[in-house]
A and B are shown apart, each in its own frame.
Chain A
C-alpha cells in the first residue's frame, strides 16, 4: 500500500472506513499508525502533496518552501498593536510540519503538567498519566541526545559565552537516532534522511497495517447525521486550470481533525461550532534569532542544526536553543542592501547564530481570510514583549562574551552592536515592537482541552463537546502554552487520543 496522489485520481472519491483523519502531520500520522495497528480501517486525507523522503532530501530550500511549507514559507501572524509581524513555519504536505522541524524533542515541562493537573483539573494529562505515551513516541522517533561532536562551531561560541555568564548549556534531544551527520538542513529536508519525521517514523507502519493516505485532498466540510459527525467531504486539488477539482466524501465511525492549530478551528467554525475559545487564545512561542560575527571563520553549517539549550531562564519564560539554517536563507535575511549586504554575505562563514523563545500568554486569533486560507492575528502581551527584548539582550551578551566582534540585533534598521554598553543602550531605548524580526514555529491551543464544556472545545480524550463522533488530535488541543518545542507534546497527546479512541471503537 502506498500513498495515493489525489490529483491523479480520475473520478470522484467515495469511501467508508472506521476512522477518517484530516491531516497527516505529527497528530494525524500518529493517530493513523496506532489505530491501523489495532486493526481499524483508517483513511488519512492530506491537503498537501506527497513527496518521498529521498525527493525531499534533494529539494533546494526554495523548492522546499514552495512544496512543503504552507504559503510557500510566507505565512505570518499579523501583529496587533505593539506586536511584530511573526513569520510562521507550518507544513503543507504528507508529514505536515514534522518535515520542517529541527528535530528537537522536549517533554512538556513538569510545572506545565502540574498546572494542567491542579489548576485546570486535567488529571488525564498529568505527567504521570502520560508516561507510556511519551515513551512510545520517543521510542518510535529514535529520540537521542545530540552528541558533543555534532555541535557546530557556531553553537560552541554561544555556549562559551553562556558559560562565562554562569549559564549552563545542555545537550538537546532530537529524533535522529545515531544517523545525524550534522548537515544543518533539517528544516528543509535532511540530506541523509536521518530525521524521523512522521513520514519516516510512523507512516510505514500505518501503511503496512492498511491505512489509506490520500494527498491533495482538501477537506471542506464535516458531514453530520443526527447531530453526529459521520464523515468529511471536500475536493481533490489538481486538474485542469480554473476547473474545480473532483469531489470526495469519506464516511466513518469516527472523524479526527489533525489539521493543525490554524486550520482545525476554521473547519469547526465553518460547521457552526461555537465552543468556548475556539480559534482564540493561540500561543506561538515568539522567537528571535541572533547573528553574531566572529573574527575567524566558523563554518556554522557544519554541525547539527540544533544541539544545545539552557533551562537557566525557564523561570522567566525564556528558552534559549542553538539553531542554524540553510546558508542561503540566512544570507537573505542579513541586514542591509547592495555593497553592505554583499560584504556580509561573503562573511557568512564568520557568523554564528543562536535563538531565544518566549513562553507566551496566548494572544492569537484565527479568522477567515479572503480566500480559503485563514488569517492569524496576534497581540503580544506586554510581559511577552519585555521577555522578547530581554532574550535579545541575553543573546547579544552571550555572543560578545563568546568573542563576537559584532552582533546583528534582530531589529530592522538597527546598527550592529559591539559592546555590552551598546547592548544595554539598544535594549533600554524606546522601540517600536513592529521593528523586531520575529519568528514562530509552534502555534498551539486554538481548540483547547478542558474538563468542562464551558471552558474548552474537547475533553481530555480529544472528543468534541459539541459534536459527538468528532475528535481532535493536533496542537490545537494543548490547554496552555508549554514553552518548549511542540512536536513530542503533540504526538504524545495524539497517542493518548488514539489509544482512547481505539478502546472506544474496538469491542
Chain B
C-alpha cells in the first residue's frame, strides 16, 4: 500500500520520463514530416501554377517557373461559360458526377443492406455465415479485380449481361454499357449506373456486417415485450428495430458517402472517366491532372474543393439525421 502511494505521489519517475521522451519525440517528428508538412504543402500548392518537371524556386520548387497565382485556380473554377478551358469544364462535370454518384450510392446501399441484414438475422443461426459470406466476399477482393470482373460482364460482345438479355429477348443484344455516350436514363449516363452496380456489389458487405452486429446488440427483452403486446413483424421492424438502429444508420450513411466521394479504382479501371467524361469523378480528375498532365497546382486546388465538399456534406448529413431521431 505504502509502495503504491509512493508511486502515486512521485508521479512519473526518471525512467518513465526517458521512455516517453524516446518514443514520443520521434512520433512528433514523424507526424510533422509525413502528415503536417504535406498538408501545409498541399494547401500551398493550390495557390501556385506548379509542375514537378520544372525546377522552380529554391524553396520546394515554389516560385520562379512555378509562379504564385493566388486565387486564380479557384476563380477559374467559377467560370461557367461554354468556352471555359477544358480543365474547368471537366472539373464541373467531375463535381456533378461525384455528387450524383454519392447521391445514388448512399440510399441504394442502405436500402439494400438493411433489409438484407434483417433477412439474414431471421434465418437459422447455422445458416447465417453462408449468406453473410456470399455478400461479404467482394469486400475482401481487391477493387481492381472487381473492376476487371465487371468489365468482362459488361462487355458488349463477350459479356454475360448482354448474353442474358439476349436469352430473355430472344434476339442478340449488343449494348455498349460502359462506352456509349448516347445511352442515358433520366439524363443520367448508363455507364454511371453500370459503375454504381459494380460499386454496390463490392461495397455492400461493409454495411451489411455493421448492421448485422447492430441487430444482434438489440436486447431480446425489448422484442419479447413487443411480442407479448401483440406486435406483428412489420411493426416490430418499424417501431422497435429501426429506431434503435438509427445511430448506426447515421454512421454508415456518412461513412458510405465519404467513401463514395473518394471512388477511384473502379472508375479508373472500368471506364477511365469515359465515355466523354460522363463518369469522370473528381478523384480521377485530380489524379489525371496531377500525375498525367503535370498540373499539380490545379489538382491541389481541386483536392481542396473535394475536401470541403466532403466536410460540408457530412456535417449537413449528421445534423439532418440527428434531427430525425432525437425527439
Partners in one complex: no
